[in-house]
A and B are shown apart, each in its own frame.
Chain A
Amino acid sequence: MQVHTHTYDVVVIGAGGAGLMAALYASKKAKTAVISKLYPTRSHTGAAQGGIGAALGNLEEDHPEWHAFDTAKGSDYLGDQDAIEFMCYQAPEIVYELEHMGVPFDRTSDGRIMQRRFGGHTNNKTGKPVRRACHAADRTGHMILQTLYQQNLRQGTHFFNEFYVTDIVFHEGRVAAVVAYELATGDLHVFRTKAAIIATGGFGQLWEVTSNAKTLTGDLPAVVLRRGLPLEDMEFFQFHPTGIYKLGILITEGVRGEGGVLINDLGERFMDKYAPTVKDLASRDVVSRAIYIEVREGRGIGGGKYVYLDVRPETVNKYAALDGRTRPDGSPYVVTKEELLAKLPDIIDFCKTYLGIDPMEEPIPVQPTAHYAMGGIPTTLKTEVIRDEHNTVVPGLYAAGEVACVSVHGANRLGTNSLLDIVVFGKVAGKEAAEYAKHADLASLPADATDLTRDQLERLRHGTGGERVADIVAEMKAVMTEHVSVFRTEEGLTEALEKIRELKERYRRVSITDKSARYNLELMEAWEAGNMLDLAEAVTLSALNRRESRGAHWREDYPKRDDENWLKHTLIWIDEEGKHRFAYKPVVITKWQPKEREY
C-alpha cells in the first residue's frame, strides 16, 4: 500500500453535524482537514427529522432552565448537569446562529421560528408538554446538514471524502497523526496533525432493527479502545419507540408531538397507564418499555411484536379533545389532513413507500428501533478526550456529538437534544482544537504509524479461514437484539458475551473475495465488522456490570434505580488480550438532586 503524508493543524474525523460545525470553527483559525468515509451530505445527521430543542419561547412561555431540568430528568439523573446547563443555555443562541447561516426553519405567522412539542420537554410549572422543538418540516437534520456543508464549501474547508480513518497515532501521549485508508485507490494517508476531533456518530448497526445508517459501525470508538483509552457509559443505548415495523426506519416523535397516539391490539391508548400526565410524549425509554410490555403481555397487534402509531386526523382530534389540548391562542386543538401533510411530508412518504399505507387513512405499525448511543468517548466540558476517571486530558484529542460522552444525555436522551448536542459541542470542539493548535507544535511521527492499519487490512485481505463476514455480523446482531436491548438480565447478558467472544474468535478467520485496490468496500465492511464486535463486547460488559435499572438500561433482575451505588459513570477499558477493567466517575450535580421520574 502506497503511503501519502499530509500536515494539518486540525483534522476533523467525520462530516455530520458535529464534524461540519467543528470544521467551520476550526478552519477560521487553523489549517483544517475533514476526513469522512462518506460524502459529507450522506451523513446520518440528514436523517434527523423532528427538530432541534431550544427554549426560544416563540409560541408559549419557556426557559433554558426548564430545558435543562427536563434534560437532567430525562437522563434519569445520570447526565452531568454542568454540561446540560451549558448546552441548554447555549441553545437559543446556536439556533439563531443556524438560522443566520440559512437553515430554513418553518415559521410562525409573525415570521419567527416555528416550534412543536416533543417527548419529555415540559412546562415546568404545569408538567404539560411545551413547544420547544424548532423544526424545518420533518427534515430538520437534512436542512442543518446541508447548511453546514454549504457554509464549509463557502469557507473553502479541505475535504477528504470516502477516506476511512483506521487509526490515531500518539507520541508520548499526544496526538501525532491520523491514519486513513482511501477507498478510491486503496492507498494509506498519514495526516500529521496537532489536534484531531472525532465526530463520527453512533453505532446502531450492532442491532438487527435500527434507525441508523448501514455505515454507523462505531469505527472510531473501536480505534480509541484499541489505543488503550476508555469508553464511557456504553450500557446506555437508546431504543426509539417508533421505528417502522421490521425495517426500523424512524418515525419522528414529532408525529406524537402533532397529536399521534400509540394504540394496542385492544384499541387502547395504552400510554395513559404508563405516563398519566404527558402520555405519548413521555421520554423514549419509558415509551419503548411500555411497547415491550404491551407486546409481551399479548397486546401487540394481532399478538405480534408491534403496536400502532395512529396519526389519522380523526384519532388525533379525538384524543386532543379528551386531553383538553389547545392551540397557543387558547382555541381547541383540531388538525386537518392538509396540516399534517404539510408538517410530516417525509413520514407520509416513508409509509407509502415502504409499507404501502397512507397514514392519513391507516395507522402505522411500529416497534422500538436501536437509535442512539448515549455513551461513547469520554470528554470534558471543553470536548477534550480524557484517559481516566480523574479527567486527565489526552493532549490534542477532542470528540463531539453522538460519538462522545460529555455527558449531556446520561442514561436516556430526549428527542431534539441530539441536533442541539452536535452543533453546541461541535462548535466548542472546533474552537478548542484550533486554540490548542495555535500553541502546540507537531508531535514526532512514530516510525510504525501505519503498522496497525496494515496488519488489520492485510490480515483481512489475505485471510483464508473461510469465515464469512456477513454471517458473523448477522449472528452478532441477533444476539444483541435478543439479550442486549430494552430488557436485560444477567443470564441473557452472559450468554451474549460468550457469543460475542466466540464471534471475535471466528472473526480472526475471515476471508474476503475482493482483492482489488479500488473501491474495495468488501474489505472495509470486514474491517467495520471488527469494530462492531469490539463495541458489542464493551456494551455487553458494561450492561452486565451495572446492577441497577436506569434510563435505557433496564435490568429485570435489578429493576430499581440504585443511586446509592450507581449514581456514577462507567468507564471501560479492554486491552489487547481482551481483558477488561472498569472505573467510575461521579455524576456532576449542580441544581437537581435525583428523584423518582414521573411523566
Chain B
Amino acid sequence: MKVTLKVFRYNPETDQRPRYDVFHLEAEPNDRVLDLLEKVKAELDGSLSYRRSCAHGICGSDAMRINGRNRLACKTLVKDVGTTIVVEPILGLPVLKDLIVDMEPFFESYRKVMPWFINTDPPPEKERLQSPEERERFDDTTKCILCAACTTSCPVFWADGSYFGPAAIVNAHRFIFDSRDQAAAERLAILAQEEGVWRCRTSFNCTEACPREIQITKAIAEVKRAILTGRLD
C-alpha cells in the first residue's frame, strides 16, 4: 500500500522555524511507523533525527505524536493509523531536533518523587516476604518504561511544566503501595505539594496514551485517596 508520511522537522542550528516534510512510501499494513522512519532515514533523508532502540515497545525511546496521539513509533502499525501519517514530537518539552525533545525536565520530575526502594531495616538473610496479593497491589505501575507518552499528553502539564505529571506519580505509586517499602509517607507528602496530584484534572489522556496500558488515572486516584485517608489499602 502507498502511504504519505508527513514529518515535523526542525533543527534550531539552521532553521528559522519548523516545517513538515512529506514522503511518499510503499509500505506493508504490518509495518511499524518506526519502520517508515527508518526507511526515510536510510533511503531518502539521512538527517531525519529521532530516538529509537529496542523497536518493540520495551525501552521507551520513541514516543511521538502520531496523527495527533502520543504513541510509540515501534508499537504503532500502519494498518492502525491509515495511509496518511503525521509524525510530530511529543508536546510540552523543548524540541532539540526534529522528533527529539529535551527529556531532562521529565526526568527531573521523576527524580523528585524519590523513585527508589527504601527500607532501612537490616535485610534478612534471604528474601523479604511478600504475599502474592501484596505483590499484585502495585503490579500495574511496575510496567512503566518512562517513555513520557502520558506526561506529554496531559493538558495540565502543557499549561504548566512544573506539575510532576502522570509518569512521576505512577513511579511514586509503584513504591507507595509496595508492602516492603517504608517511605510512603514522605512520598505522599511530596505528592500533596502544589506540583503534585491535586493538579490532576482526570482528563484520562494519560491512560489513553500509555503504551503499556497502565491504568494511570486509577493510580493517581489511589494516591489522592491515600493522601486524604492516610491509608494504603
CB within 8 Å of B: which residues of A? 38-39, 41-44, 46-47, 56, 95-96, 99-102, 104-113, 136-137, 139, 142-143, 146-147, 150-151, 153-154, 184, 213-215, 247, 249, 346, 349-350, 353-354, 356, 468-470, 512-514, 516-522
A137 to B52, CA, bound (A): 25
Known contacts: A136-B142, A516-B11. The answer to whether A522 contacts B47 by CB under 8 A is yes
Known contacts: A104-B142, A139-B143. The answer to whether A519 contacts B128 by CB under 8 A is no
Complex interface: chain B residues within 8 A of A468 (CB): 42
Verify A522–B135 contact, CB threshold 8 A: no
- Give me 8 other A-B pairs in contact (C-beta within 8 A), A109-B131, A111-B132 excluded: A39-B61, A42-B54, A47-B56, A56-B126, A96-B126, A151-B117, A518-B96, A522-B47
Complex interface: chain A residues within 8 A of B75 (CB): 353
* A278 → chain B closest CB, angstroms: 28
A507 to B97, CA, bound (A): 27
A105 to B126, CA, bound (A): 13
Known contacts: A112-B129, A151-B116. The answer to whether A100 contacts B54 by CB under 8 A is no
* A178 → chain B closest CB, angstroms: 22
CB proximity to A under 8 Å, residues B88-119: 96-98, 100, 103, 107, 111, 114-119
Known contacts: A147-B117, A153-B115, A213-B53. The answer to whether A113 contacts B127 by CB under 8 A is yes
Verify B60–A42 contact, CB threshold 8 A: yes
Complex interface: chain A residues within 8 A of B47 (CB): 513-514, 516, 522
Complex interface: chain A residues within 8 A of B25 (CB): none
With both beta carbons as reference points, the residue of chain B lying nearest to A102 in the complex is identified as: B117
A356 to B77, CA, bound (A): 10
- Whether a CB of chain A sits under 8 angstroms from the CB of B224 is no
* A301 → chain B closest CB, angstroms: 17
Verify A518–B143 contact, CB threshold 8 A: no
The 8 Å CB contact of A112, one of B116, B127, B134, is: B127
Known contacts: A104-B142, A522-B41. The answer to whether A516 contacts B13 by CB under 8 A is yes
* B197 → chain A closest CB, angstroms: 20
Verify A99–B13 contact, CB threshold 8 A: no
- Whether a CB of chain A sits under 8 angstroms from the CB of B67 is no
With both beta carbons as reference points, the residue of chain B lying nearest to A152 in the complex is identified as: B116
* A41 → chain B closest CB, angstroms: 5
Q: Which of A102, A113, A154 has the most CB of B within 10 A?
A: A102
A109 to B133, CA, bound (A): 9
- Whether a CB of chain A sits under 8 angstroms from the CB of B49 is yes
16 CB contacts below 8 A, A to B, read: A39-B61, A44-B53, A47-B59, A102-B119, A104-B142, A111-B130, A147-B117, A150-B115, A150-B117, A213-B54, A249-B56, A346-B58, A354-B30, A518-B11, A519-B96, A521-B50
Give the number of A-B contacts (CB < 8 Å).
158
Number of residues in B with C-beta < 8 Å to the partner?
62
Q: What is the 8 Å Cβ interface bit string for chain B, positions 46-89, against chain A (1 contact, 0 not)? A: 11011111111111110000000000000101000000000000
Verify A142–B116 contact, CB threshold 8 A: no
Complex interface: chain B residues within 8 A of A356 (CB): 30
Verify B56–A517 contact, CB threshold 8 A: no
Verify A99–B127 contact, CB threshold 8 A: yes
Complex interface: chain B residues within 8 A of A522 (CB): 41, 46-47, 49
The 8 Å CB contact of A514, one of B46, B60, B130, is: B46
The 8 Å CB contact of B59, one of A43, A153, A513, is: A43
A439 to B181, CA, bound (A): 38
A350 to B142, CA, bound (A): 18
Verify A96–B127 contact, CB threshold 8 A: yes
Q: What is the 8 Å Cβ interface bit string for chain B, positions 1-30, against chain A (1 contact, 0 not)? A: 000000000011110000000000000001
* A392 → chain B closest CB, angstroms: 36
Verify B13–A143 contact, CB threshold 8 A: no
Verify A41–B127 contact, CB threshold 8 A: no
CB proximity to A under 8 Å, residues B134-172: 134-135, 138-139, 142-146
With both beta carbons as reference points, the residue of chain A lying nearest to B79 in the complex is identified as: A356
Verify B142–A143 contact, CB threshold 8 A: yes
* A42 → chain B closest CB, angstroms: 4
Verify A350–B103 contact, CB threshold 8 A: no
Complex interface: chain B residues within 8 A of A513 (CB): 45-47
* B111 → chain A closest CB, angstroms: 6
